[in-house]
Amino acid sequence: MVVLYKAKCINNFNRTVEIFVFAKSEETLKNVLKKQNIYLISAKKDKSITKKRLSSFSLQFIHDLRQLIRNNVDLINSLRILKNTHTNNKLSTMIDYIIDEIEQGKSLSETLSNFECFDSITIKCLQVAEKTAKLYDSLTRIEKYLNAKNNILQKISEAVRYPLVLASVVFSVLIFWICFIVPKFAELFVGMNVELTILTKCVIAISNFLNSWISAFLCVFFISIFFVFSKTNYSKQILQIFFKRIGLTRLKFYIEFFYGMNLMLEEKLHLIECLEMFLNSENSDVIKDIVCMIKQGKSLATAMETSGVFRHTEISIIETGEQCGDLATSFCVAANNIKNNFETKSKKVIGILQPCLMLIIGGILILIICAIIMPIYSTLEYVNI
């Protein structure tokens, strides 16, 4: 894989400049710059381009390249047009690297395989396109595949994010009331020497406890947030366990598997070859078992059912596709079925979660308000007597 380096160099005019260059290693970077009579002073890896940005770039790159190929622009000129029209300097450097590699005799698929943002299925389909000279058709199918996969992954992300944001808002409102509003009334009650109810005493006790430990709670909260969003291996493992527990890991595999199989079968790849593309996934053992069963003469639907990973609905769709001789379409139907099922369930969960959280915060606020009003009301009654 190539890496983006931020290099401090001396150019032909003996001036010190900073440039961005893609290279496989620092040694390769030195050689590349040396050929241009540029001498490297220092270099460090640049990580400012996020995975999300790269994923968006890969989809946009495939879309724009497809449009240019459609208008009979050759590959090199298409890439040069993309480079000149790109506003982001770092991504423009990435396209420049692709052009240089292709001009040196490498294929498009071989060059793109050096970048993490282009997955193995995309690269495999481009390899087929280069052999069959049907680049436009392949790019069209790849764009459709990337769009479908990115859309559902974005919806999964939104489905996880929304409850967390809602719960954070609820938590913040409750903390504000308990830590800032209740203490003001507690001071008032002490000054007025009011007899407090059990509910009021409990609310004030909770408020005093939280106020005395608020700094520790905030420290733990922010450290936890930093830990979760940091890119350490341990934090990634914790998140993977969490996503696995709530079923998102399996859902992501389903989406990538069914849409990926649809794309590769449309490219006329052999079934075994398509399945072997998923041997590096988290469910590699399952894929190995399916491949072994197919080689033994079993149907794909039977092998999927025996694995115990896939649902009965999707297995039935694949079985129908095998009987009709149209597996590619059946994989697309199965993928769309999973997507629609997820969207329906996520809407139901959010529809239930939102009013439940509102009821919880409403109930707690009513208790707090009652705890505040009751001593005031009893004092007013005493004054009237």
Give 152-163 pLDDT, tens digit per residue: 877 777 777 777
Q: Assign residue 308 a region: left if phi > 0, alpha if psi is -120 to 50, beta otherwise?
A: left
pTM, 2 dp? 0.76
Q: What is the dihedral of CA 241, 244, 246, 252, to 10 degrees?
A: 140
Q: How many CB atoms lie within 10 A of CB 322?
A: 15
H or E stretch at 275:
helix 271-276
Taking only the tens place, the pLDDT of each residue in 154-187 is: 777 777 777 777 777 777 777 788 888 888 888 8
Tokens of 177: 């009331």
Which residues in the chain land under pLDDT 50?
Answer: 385
User: What was the pLDDT predicted at 137?
Assistant: 92
Tokens encoding 190: 């002490």
pLDDT at 385: 47
Query: How many residues are listed for the chain in this entry?
Result: 385
The whole-number pLDDT of residue 141 equals 92
